[in-house]
Protein backbone atom coordinates (compact mmCIF):
# COMPACT_ATOMS: atom_id res chain seq x y z
CA UNK A 1 0.00 0.00 0.00
CA UNK A 2 1.60 3.19 -1.13
CA UNK A 3 0.38 6.65 -2.06
CA UNK A 4 3.75 7.62 -3.52
CA UNK A 5 3.73 8.97 -7.06
CA UNK A 6 6.14 6.94 -9.13
CA UNK A 7 8.66 9.01 -11.04
CA UNK A 8 11.29 7.95 -13.54
CA UNK A 9 13.77 10.52 -12.28
CA UNK A 10 15.58 9.96 -9.01
CA UNK A 11 14.08 12.19 -6.34
CA UNK A 12 15.23 12.98 -2.85
CA UNK A 13 11.65 13.61 -1.66
CA UNK A 14 8.62 11.40 -2.20
CA UNK A 15 5.45 12.92 -3.60
CA UNK A 16 2.10 11.43 -2.59
CA UNK A 17 -1.22 11.45 -4.44
CA UNK A 18 -3.81 14.01 -3.34
CA UNK A 19 -6.69 11.56 -2.69
CA UNK A 20 -6.89 7.86 -1.92
CA UNK A 21 -9.35 5.22 -0.75
CA UNK A 22 -8.55 2.11 1.25
CA UNK A 23 -10.89 -0.79 2.02
CA UNK A 24 -10.39 -2.23 5.49
CA UNK A 25 -12.29 -5.41 6.38
CA UNK A 26 -12.32 -5.92 10.14
CA UNK A 27 -14.64 -6.95 12.96
CA UNK A 28 -17.35 -8.12 10.56
CA UNK A 29 -17.52 -4.78 8.74
CA UNK A 30 -16.05 -3.34 5.58
CA UNK A 31 -14.80 0.23 5.97
CA UNK A 32 -13.88 2.30 2.93
CA UNK A 33 -11.58 5.08 4.09
CA UNK A 34 -11.72 8.09 1.75
CA UNK A 35 -8.79 10.37 2.53
CA UNK A 36 -7.17 13.57 1.29
CA UNK A 37 -3.54 14.57 1.71
CA UNK A 38 -3.27 16.92 4.70
CA UNK A 39 -1.20 19.81 3.36
CA UNK A 40 -1.75 21.83 6.55
CA UNK A 41 -0.15 19.36 8.96
CA UNK A 42 3.51 20.14 8.28
CA UNK A 43 4.83 23.66 7.77
CA UNK A 44 6.68 24.47 4.55
CA UNK A 45 9.56 25.34 6.90
CA UNK A 46 9.52 21.85 8.47
CA UNK A 47 13.03 20.45 8.94
CA UNK A 48 14.12 16.98 10.06
CA UNK A 49 17.53 16.37 11.58
CA UNK A 50 18.84 12.82 11.78
CA UNK A 51 22.05 11.79 13.50
CA UNK A 52 23.69 8.86 11.75
CA UNK A 53 26.09 6.38 13.28
CA UNK A 54 29.37 8.16 13.76
CA UNK A 55 27.60 11.38 14.76
CA UNK A 56 27.08 12.92 11.31
CA UNK A 57 23.97 15.15 11.20
CA UNK A 58 21.79 14.96 8.10
CA UNK A 59 19.07 17.57 7.48
CA UNK A 60 16.02 16.99 5.30
CA UNK A 61 13.85 20.01 4.51
CA UNK A 62 10.12 19.47 4.29
CA UNK A 63 9.95 15.87 5.42
CA UNK A 64 7.74 13.32 3.70
CA UNK A 65 4.17 14.60 3.33
CA UNK A 66 2.31 11.29 3.62
CA UNK A 67 -0.36 12.26 6.16
CA UNK A 68 -4.03 11.97 5.27
CA UNK A 69 -7.38 12.83 6.82
CA UNK A 70 -10.92 12.06 5.78
CA UNK A 71 -13.93 9.96 6.62
CA UNK A 72 -15.46 6.53 6.20
CA UNK A 73 -17.47 6.46 2.98
CA UNK A 74 -21.18 7.01 3.65
CA UNK A 75 -20.63 7.95 7.29
CA UNK A 76 -20.65 11.75 7.83
CA UNK A 77 -19.92 11.51 11.58
CA UNK A 78 -16.77 9.44 11.04
CA UNK A 79 -13.19 10.61 10.73
CA UNK A 80 -9.91 9.10 9.58
CA UNK A 81 -6.28 10.08 10.23
CA UNK A 82 -3.58 8.02 8.50
CA UNK A 83 0.08 8.06 7.59
CA UNK A 84 1.03 6.15 4.45
CA UNK A 85 4.80 6.68 4.73
CA UNK A 86 5.41 2.98 5.54
CA UNK A 87 2.11 1.13 5.18
CA UNK A 88 -1.05 2.38 6.86
CA UNK A 89 -0.56 3.77 10.37
CA UNK A 90 -3.34 5.64 12.10
CA UNK A 91 -6.91 5.53 13.25
CA UNK A 92 -10.50 5.81 12.13
CA UNK A 93 -13.70 6.43 14.05
CA UNK A 94 -17.09 5.20 12.82
CA UNK A 95 -19.28 7.13 15.26
CA UNK A 96 -19.29 4.25 17.75
CA UNK A 97 -15.79 2.82 17.97
CA UNK A 98 -12.23 3.93 17.38
CA UNK A 99 -10.03 1.59 15.33
CA UNK A 100 -6.25 1.62 15.14
CA UNK A 101 -4.41 0.26 12.09
CA UNK A 102 -0.75 -0.58 11.53
CA UNK A 103 1.27 -2.75 9.14
CA UNK A 104 2.38 -6.16 10.37
CA UNK A 105 5.92 -6.47 11.70
CA UNK A 106 7.19 -8.08 8.48
CA UNK A 107 6.12 -5.09 6.34
CA UNK A 108 8.42 -4.22 3.45
CA UNK A 109 7.63 -1.43 1.02
CA UNK A 110 8.67 -3.69 -1.90
CA UNK A 111 5.69 -6.03 -1.52
CA UNK A 112 2.58 -5.48 -3.65
CA UNK A 113 0.25 -6.77 -0.91
CA UNK A 114 0.55 -5.95 2.77
CA UNK A 115 -1.08 -7.42 5.85
CA UNK A 116 -2.15 -4.94 8.48
CA UNK A 117 -3.45 -5.34 12.01
CA UNK A 118 -6.61 -3.52 13.07
CA UNK A 119 -7.46 -3.03 16.72
CA UNK A 120 -10.73 -1.86 18.21
CA UNK A 121 -9.73 0.67 20.83
CA UNK A 122 -11.45 1.00 24.17
CA UNK A 123 -9.92 4.44 24.71
CA UNK A 124 -12.64 6.51 23.02
CA UNK A 125 -15.82 4.49 23.42
CA UNK A 126 -18.60 6.96 24.17
CA UNK A 127 -21.42 8.53 22.17
CA UNK A 128 -20.71 11.87 20.52
CA UNK A 129 -23.28 13.50 22.88
CA UNK A 130 -20.78 12.90 25.70
CA UNK A 131 -17.83 14.48 23.87
CA UNK A 132 -16.67 17.91 25.04
CA UNK A 133 -18.58 20.53 23.05
CA UNK A 134 -15.45 21.83 21.27
CA UNK A 135 -14.66 18.37 19.90
CA UNK A 136 -18.28 17.63 18.98
CA UNK A 137 -18.60 20.86 17.00
CA UNK A 138 -15.33 20.23 15.19
CA UNK A 139 -16.20 16.68 14.17
CA UNK A 140 -19.82 17.19 13.19
CA UNK A 141 -19.91 20.59 11.50
CA UNK A 142 -16.63 20.68 9.61
CA UNK A 143 -15.99 18.78 6.39
CA UNK A 144 -12.26 19.35 6.79
CA UNK A 145 -10.79 17.76 9.89
CA UNK A 146 -7.47 18.94 11.28
CA UNK A 147 -6.19 15.97 13.21
Q: What are phi and psi of 100, to 5 degrees?
A: -110, 140
Q: What is the pLDDT of residue 137?
A: 40
On whether residue 45 sits in a domain, the answer given is yes
What string of pLDDT tens digits covers the 147 residues of the chain?
A: 456 555 555 445 567 789 999 999 999 999 999 999 998 887 778 888 889 999 999 988 876 789 999 999 999 999 999 999 888 999 999 999 999 999 887 766 655 567 889 999 865 555 555 555 554 443 333 222 222
The one-character DSSP state at 129 is G
Residues spanned by the domain of 66: 19-141
Classify 140 as helix, strand or coil.
helix
On whether residue 2 sits in a domain, the answer given is no
For the chain, how many structural domains are there in total?
1
On whether residue 92 sits in a domain, the answer given is yes
CA atoms within 13 A on the CB side of 8: 0
Model confidence over 34-48: pLDDT tens digits? 999 998 887 778 888
Amino acid sequence: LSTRVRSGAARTQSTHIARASFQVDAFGSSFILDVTLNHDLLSSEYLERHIEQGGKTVEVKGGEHCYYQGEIRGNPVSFVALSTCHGLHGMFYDGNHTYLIEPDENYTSDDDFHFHSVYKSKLIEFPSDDLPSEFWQMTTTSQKFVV
